[in-house]
């Protein structure tokens, strides 16, 4: 797996899309930092961008990379190497390259601004950590969808739909549920529902770390009340980790049974 990962990373780190992605974060974070000057506010602004953008870009890149590499994957599949190692190598290579663009794109302006001397380092690390985990989760989901669908258009459509569902539709459904059942105690339901959405989980995690109760919303507040900040964060981290494991396991399962 490491061999495939290494060459996938070589390939992707030279792709112009990686530079565009890196450049976007670099310009965006620099502009926010030097225009606003308040690191805490910048972290919140970046959080909103990362929560939407990381999953979207990871989804798009995941599907595109899989379909683009399909013929080469056939050549790899004919080599003495286990199927799962090929797909895990490609998946982790992609997720690492996206994470690196994010880390450098946001990290460089923060370092230049004097992050190491400020007290915001943990907030910054939480933000980056969330971006990285979201990149892993959504590129994994995209790989899973692409592996299950040989039809490119269908694969793209389903992957975008998955992103749309977690980023937008899920919140709407959540709100509707809360409205419909407002006469019942909803804490357990809302806790369960937020664990089922990695974007919600990330948002809660960053807000718990920043301790901004006004921005936490219903689920954040329930999380904090039920678990306290420490436990709340631990459970959110565990749930996010679970969200990385699920697509990784799914990729292995489908790859071992699929006809190419």
In sign, the C-alpha dihedral spanning 97, 100, 102, 105 is negative
Question: Does 11 sit near other proteins (CB under 8 A)?
Answer: yes
Rank residues 3 and 41 by Cβ distance to other proteins and give the closer one.
Answer: 3
Q: What angle do CA 58, 61, 63 make, to 5 degrees?
A: 105
Q: How far is the CB of 258 from other proteins (least distance, A)?
A: 8
Contact between residue 163 and residue 56 where contact means Cβ atoms under 8 Å apart: yes
Stretch that binds other proteins, among 44-52, 71-79, 115-123, 237-245 (CB under 8 A): 71-79
Question: Does 8 sit near other proteins (CB under 8 A)?
Answer: yes
Question: Does 14 sit near other proteins (CB under 8 A)?
Answer: yes
Q: How far is the CB of 157 from other proteins (least distance, A)?
A: 21
The single residue among 43, 60, 64, 69 that binds other proteins, judged by CB under 8 A, is 69
Residues present in the chain in total:
260
Q: Give the DSSP H/E element, type plus range, for residue 102.
A: helix 83-113
| Phi, psi (rounded to 5 degrees) for 185 | -70, 125
- How many residues lie near other proteins (CB under 8 A)? 26
Contact between residue 104 and residue 208 where contact means Cβ atoms under 8 Å apart: no
Distance (Å, whole) CA 117 – CA 141: 38
Stretch that binds other proteins, among 9-17, 191-199, 200-208, 242-250 (CB under 8 A): 9-17
Q: What angle do CA 166, 126, 225 make, to 5 degrees?
A: 70
Q: How far is the CB of 246 from other proteins (least distance, A)?
A: 24
In sign, the C-alpha dihedral spanning 92, 97, 103, 106 is negative
Mask: binding to other proteins, 75-94, rule CB under 8 A, as x and -? Answer: xxxxxxxxx-----------
Stretch that binds other proteins, among 135-143, 168-176, 181-189, 252-260 (CB under 8 A): 252-260
Contact between residue 105 and residue 18 where contact means Cβ atoms under 8 Å apart: no
Question: Does 19 sit near other proteins (CB under 8 A)?
Answer: no
Question: Does 148 sit near other proteins (CB under 8 A)?
Answer: no
Rank residues 38 and 256 by Cβ distance to other proteins and give the closer one.
Answer: 256
Stretch that binds other proteins, among 7-15, 20-28, 102-110, 219-227 (CB under 8 A): 7-15
For residue 143 the two structure tokens come to: 């790989």
Question: Does 151 sit near other proteins (CB under 8 A)?
Answer: no
Contact between residue 166 and residue 197 where contact means Cβ atoms under 8 Å apart: yes
Binding site residues, other proteins, CB under 8 A: 3-4, 7-8, 10-12, 14-15, 68-69, 71-72, 74-83, 257, 259-260
């Amino acid at each position: 797996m490491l061999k495939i990962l290494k060459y996938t990373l070589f390939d992707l780190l030279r792709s112009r899309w990686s530079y565009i992605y890196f450049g976007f974060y670099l310009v965006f974070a620099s502009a926010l930092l030097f225009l606003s000057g308040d690191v805490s506010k910048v972290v919140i602004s970046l959080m909103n961008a990362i929560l939407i953008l990381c999953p979207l870009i990871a989804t798009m890149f995941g599907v595109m990379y899989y379909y683009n590499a399909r013929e080469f994957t056939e050549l790899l599949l004919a080599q003495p190497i286990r199927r799962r190692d090929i797909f895990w190598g490609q998946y982790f290579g992609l997720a690492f390259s996206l994470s690196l663009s994010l880390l450098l794109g946001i990290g460089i302006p923060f370092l230049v601004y004097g992050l190491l001397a400020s007290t915001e380092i943990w907030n910054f690390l939480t933000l980056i950590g969330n971006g990285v985990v979201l990149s892993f989760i959504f590129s994994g989901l995209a790989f899973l969808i692409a592996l299950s669908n040989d039809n490119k258009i269908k694969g793209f459509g389903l992957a975008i739909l998955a992103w749309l569902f977690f980023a937008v539709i899920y919140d709407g459904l959540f709100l509707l549920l809360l409205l419909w059942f407002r006469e019942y105690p909803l804490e357990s339901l809302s806790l369960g529902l937020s664990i089922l959405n990695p974007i919600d989980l990330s948002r809660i995690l960053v807000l718990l770390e920043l301790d901004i109760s006004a921005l936490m919303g219903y689920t954040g507040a329930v999380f904090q009340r039920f678990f306290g900040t420490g436990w709340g964060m631990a459970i959110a981290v565990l749930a996010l980790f679970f969200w990385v494991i699920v697509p990784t396991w799914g990729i292995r399962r489908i790859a071992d049974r699929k006809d190419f």
